[in-house]
Amino acid sequence: MTLFLRRHGRSLALFSFLFLLLLLLQSTSPSLDPSLTSLRGESYKQFGGALSRGTFSVSDSVISPNEKFHITAVADLDKRSKLGSSEWYSVLLPGVLSRSGGGGYEVQWGPARQVSTKHNEGGRGMELSELTVYDGRLLSFGDRTGIVFELIRDGGGGIKSVPRFILTEGDGETDKGMKVEWATVKDGNLYIGSFGKEFTNPAGE
- Of 47, 22, 128, 35, the closest CA to residue 81 belongs to 128
Is 67 labelled a binding residue?
Answer: no
DSSP 122-138: TTB---EEEEEEETTEE
Report d(CA 24, CA 198) in Å as an integer: 56
Report d(CA 181, CA 130) in Å as an integer: 7
Tell me if residue 109 falls in helix, strand or coil.
strand
Is 130 labelled a binding residue?
Answer: yes
Is 161 labelled a binding residue?
Answer: no
Q: What does each C-alpha distance from 186 to 91, 125, 189 come to in angstroms? A: 27, 28, 5
Report d(CA 125, CA 136) in Å as an integer: 25
Report d(CA 176, CA 170) in Å as an integer: 8
**Sign of torsion, CA 186 191 195 199?**
negative
Task: Give the residue ranges of the annotated binding site for Ca(2+).
Answer: 129-130, 181
Task: Give the residue ranges of the annotated binding site.
Answer: 129-130, 181
